Structure 1
Amino acid sequence: MNAYEQKQAERRARYEARAEKATQESNAAHAQARNMAEAIPFGQPILIGHHSEKRDRRYRARIHDTFGKSVKLSEKADHYAQKAAAVGTGGISSDDPDAIEKLRAELAGINAAQDKMKAANRAIRKGDRDALAEIGFTPEQVEELFKPDFAGRVGFPSYALSNNRANGRRIEQRIKELEALREREDVEAQGNGYTYREDAEDNRVMFIFDAKPDAETRKLLKAHAFKWSPSREGKPWVRQLTNAGIYAAKQVRAVLDAAE
């Protein structure tokens, strides 16, 4: 497990811990509400006009609020459980130091799948089931490949091959971009009230301001997908160091440097 993967694991663990804490608090609030409700005799109505009416209404309202608190905490637990489950499912991140190697492995799988589909289609055109078995298809899969689809096509349709090929080209382009970015020298430049940096090791484009940026500047940064990162030194506004990130930074710098 590399440093990025360790960070992801720790992030997942934090979300799981928050989900567990919210679940325990939800269960406790629900139990408290039930205990409070049990103090009222079953079917006991509010005694209108009785000296206990106001106190009884307040007590019942507290029961209702406590049940509501339990529901909200349960929803909070579900929220963090979903965030924990989503960690690491967004594909290969550019922040991963092994991203290029992982992308190359993914590309190899895509190319192998392309070759397998092409070979399968050649065998299907010849009606050669033995060749399909040699490629690696099970008897059940072989029979499925010979079944026409809604358009009467057998085997792998052309769109499946073109989509797979397009995905391979996308990954090839991403590998080239990551390789180029990792060879870049760090950049630092002074601007109108800020320091601009391109940090290859941190994989971030960032703005560090001399003072807290005003509302208009924050709006500008957010519009270009920059996020405030108070945990980093200088509390910069950052986004990933990609070609798109560098271009967005140029747009932001042009506006900031033109301001009085």
Structure 2
Amino acid sequence: MAPAVPLFAKGHAVNCPKRLAFTAPSSGRRFVAPQCIASRPDQERTIVREEREACGTFSRRETLGLSIAAATTLSLIGRPSQAIQGLTAGRIPGLSKEPDEEGFYMYVRPEGKSGGHGVGWSEIPPYKFKVPKGWDEIPVSIADLGGTEIDLRYQSKEQGDMAVVVAPVLRFMDVGFNAKVNLQSVGPPQRVIEGFAPELFGRPLDEGDVLATEVATREDGGLYYLWEVKPHNLVAATATKNRVFILTLTSSARQWKKHAADLRVIQQSFRVQQE
């Protein structure tokens, strides 16, 4: 038998020489409450009843909290795609966990990413590029002020801003839904950069704005145009299937002076899976 424990109830000292086991009706859990002896016959029943009520209240609160937590967990498990989107603030991460030997991370567009295109777009071929440490993805949606063709935004407070535009070739030419075109079919470099300038820079190009143009065929056979545009913009573009892919980088004079080399690495690393 358990030793007597002194308690205070209703201002009277009592002793509790043994314990009483019972099941709480709210949860079905088993509890043990002290059965106390007092100076008045009815006080024993009062103390035991108060212990039952206290344990019952605790059980109800505990059960409610566990039920809510369980419901939330089951909701996330039942909808994995929504859970991922919620945890990443509307983004599906695509950045490598480790840098390469030069300290650059590789971003690869993940399958299922929607960007700012919304519903109705077919799956976009994956593209990739390198970024140094310190670049972060910025959420985009169909409400993005840059337009529904913005697929991705990245930003570094130290180095500048980047966006990837995925636009239909129909902006330049009539093609079928599943047509396969390359950048040369879309047009020469000057035509392409002039056609996208208002979207990329917020204004049409003036004479002399394009400081440098490069045409390159990459290891995967894809044709790419690259530009340097005033004041401190770098652009890379290619086309595959029925879309034009454009990566654009913008920086301030201070950012450009300090990080131009890194920004050029990002521009030169842009690749799109050719189909």
Q: Does the alignment reach a TM-score above 0.5? A: no
Greater relative contact order (CA < 8 Å, ≥ 6 in sequence): 1
**Higher radius of gyration, 1 or 2:** 2
Whichever structure has more helix as a proportion of its residues is: 1
Whichever structure has more strand as a proportion of its residues is: 2
Q: TM-score, structure 1 length as denominator?
A: 0.25
